[in-house]
Amino acid sequence: MALPACAAPALGPPLQPERGAPARTTCPRRHSRVEAELAASRPGSAAASVRAGPPRGVSRGFNSQPLLEEPRKASSSLAGAERDPLFALLPGGRRRRMHDLRRRWDPGSLCRALLTRGLAALGHSLKHVLGAIFSKIFGPLASVGNMDEKSNKLLLALVMLFLFAVIVLQYVCPGTECQLLRLQAFSSPVPDPYRSEDESSARFVPRYNFSRGDLLRKVDFDIKGDDLIVFLHIQKTGGTTFGRHLVRNIQLEQPCECRVGQKKCTCHRPGKRETWLFSRFSTGWSCGLHADWTELTSCVPTVVDGKRDAKLRPARNFHYITILRDPVSRYLSEWRHVQRGATWKASLHVCDGRPPTSEELPSCYTGDDWSGCPLKEFMDCPYNLANNRQVRMLSDLTLVGCYNLSVMPEKQRNKVLLESAKSNLKHMAFFGLTEFQRKTQYLFEKTFNMNFISPFTQYNTTRASSVEINEEIQKRIEGLNFLDMELYSYAKDLFLQRYQFMRQKEHQEARRKRQEQRKFLKGRFLQTHFQSQGQSQNQSQNPILNSNPNQNLTQNLIQNLIQNLTQSSNQKENRESQKQNPGQEQSDGSTSNGTNDYIGSVEKWR
């Protein structure tokens, strides 16, 4: 039994082919490596001469190319075998088969083939899924109407066109920017936008006790009068965004005139050439860059009424407003701003009629700016005004000797500054928090009776949020801003209590309006009842009308309404007794049921 040549290397030396005949093997799937070895074993073959290389002493030149390069080592790719010089020694048929094999296992061709087959399989699966859906939905219709194949294709085309239009529309108008995508009729009721904002707890537990006067902040601001809104802008608290809302996003009889390319807008009162807003975007930095409470209270009256005589100056009210922010986030945001080259050198820091000296307020850097400073260097400067900036800018610095630290001990100075900042913040007309944009908008609208055009947007991703710090650095920042931390806790408690108080007041007002509507319905019912009584007396004299079967039903309805009226008349007494005895819930339940029955009877009667 003759063995194939594939097994020859295992039994002995390979069989030598005849001289001059092409090297062949009886195994058609054997790699061409066998032919190459056979050709190389011949003493006078071209492969042996190539392997031998040039004669000794003769070197290849720099630009000289050998006729046949040395065969490369065995590689895992068949493309290397095709570029091998021994590839030319193979027969034409085997070269074509190797070329087809290389093209078949090419990575690009393989990826294209896999992608094509995957898409085909996906389309086939989608076809079956859509067919099953259409058979479930339109199966009864097809069985009744015997829909033909053309109608099915037309329906499928319409459905696919609708899906494509929805996808394109969603891509063009994502999120809440497109009003057409708000299908309120098919969606659940819109949740309260103030219920949970920025991951705040739904139930707020107050820590401080405030009076009703502290919580009820409703300013009788007449834009046509002489009162003025003064915006105290603290660095890196979102004041720029809020300032733009005041001049561009508020509903006014005479809106502010804002020109393209200019930061300042003209905000005049209706019929007057006098501003009603003192802020960066209306009057500019008239009292200095980021003027604090001490500067504004002494500067604003002079700037507004400086040209008038003291007798001619109107008795105007100055309503101060500001925005606060979490101290750690604000501190990191200011550091990043200083890194980009911000200096605030134009700030005057005027206190008691003079700016501070260089000894009272030294600088933390020596060059033109402090750009590129690391966070550690920013925290190590003891004269950095970023430390407790919110307390310093909201307090009255004249109480502690301005910037002269030798007037009183540091502990007493910090206590006086904190109490002054809390007092000024509580008596301000309004203040908001950066972390609660929608609640800030709501409280401003309720305080000044002025509405914004579009709602505020809560940006949870800022430059400060992109800074990753460990727990140790965070604790150090909190230690450097310990006064701001206490002030922010106080401000947040007061802010949320004011919000809850205003919401409860709004609900009570809505409840009062509903009660007035019910009283109005009662009056209408009494008038209708007396008219129906007069008609019933006239009908009692006519025996033909008494034969009407609906007469008894009408009389029963009137009697039921009279009973419900009697029950609803006792509603006030029940409420008063409920205030005195809050444990009586049964009587309240019966009263509410009687009121509901009364409203339903009125609807039937109408």
DSSP 65-76: --SSPPPPPP-S
d(CA 521, CA 527): 10
230, 243 contact by CB (below 8 A): no
Write down the pLDDT at residue 57: 44
Q: What is the bridge-based pairing of β-strands 318-324 and 277-278?
A: unpaired
Name the residue with higher pLDDT: 363 or 23. Answer: 363
483, pLDDT greater than 80: yes
d(CA 170, CA 154): 24
Classify residue 86 by its DSSP letter.
G
> Which of 483-492, 553-562, 577-586, 591-600 is the most confident on average?
483-492
Give 408's contacts (C-beta < 8 A, 6+ positions apart): 400, 401, 416
d(CA 545, CA 113): 90
pLDDT confidence bin for 188, thresholds 50/70/90: very low
For the stretch 449-478, pLDDT in tens is 999 999 999 887 777 778 889 999 999 999
DSSP 396-452: -GGGGTTT-TTSS-HHHHHHHHHHHHHHHHHHSSEEEETT-HHHHHHHHHHHHT--B
For the stretch 73-128, pLDDT in tens is 444 444 444 455 555 666 667 777 776 766 666 666 777 777 788 777 877 777 77
Write down the pLDDT at residue 281: 96
Residue 159 tokens read as: 């459905």
Write down the pLDDT at residue 129: 75
325, pLDDT greater than 60: yes
Mean pLDDT value across residues 128-149: 62
Write down the pLDDT at residue 336: 94
Total-model pTM: 0.59
Least confident of 182-196, 214-228, 331-345: 182-196
Write down the pLDDT at residue 229: 97
Residue 10 tokens read as: 């295992």
Mean pLDDT value across residues 202-208: 81
Name the residue with higher pLDDT: 238 or 578. Answer: 238
Least confident of 273-287, 503-517, 543-557: 543-557
Mean pLDDT value across residues 9-22: 47
Mean pLDDT value across residues 409-432: 97
329, pLDDT greater than 60: yes
Write down the pLDDT at residue 119: 79
Judged by DSSP in three states, 569 sits in helix
Tell me the pLDDT of the chain averaged across its residues: 76
Mean pLDDT value across residues 358-368: 92
167, pLDDT greater than 70: yes
207, 488 contact by CB (below 8 A): no
Q: Which residues are catalytic?
A: 290
361, pLDDT greater than 60: yes
Residue 549 tokens read as: 């079967």
Write down the pLDDT at residue 181: 41
d(CA 472, CA 222): 50
CA angle at residue 243 from 239 to 246, to 5 degrees?
A: 145
Write down the pLDDT at residue 24: 47
Mean pLDDT value across residues 545-566: 56
Q: Would you tell me how many other CB atoms lie within 10 Å of the CB of residue 526?
A: 13
For the stretch 525-540, pLDDT in tens is 777 777 777 666 666 6
Write down the pLDDT at residue 130: 73
Least confident of 166-180, 318-332, 424-438: 166-180
Write down the pLDDT at residue 67: 38
Least confident of 179-183, 391-395, 561-565: 179-183
Write down the pLDDT at residue 115: 78
pLDDT confidence bin for 148, thresholds 50/70/90: low
Least confident of 93-102, 366-375, 589-598: 589-598
Q: Which domains does the chain have, with CATH numbers?
A: 217-504 (3.40.50)
Q: Would you tell me how many other CB atoms lie within 10 Å of the CB of residue 567?
A: 16
Task: Label residues 25-44 b or e (16+ Cβ within 10 Å = b).
Answer: beeeeeebebbbebbbeeee
Judged by DSSP in three states, 231 sits in strand
Q: Which strand (E) or helix (H) includes residue 318?
A: strand 318-324
Q: Which strand (E) or helix (H) includes residue 509?
A: helix 482-540
383, pLDDT greater than 50: yes
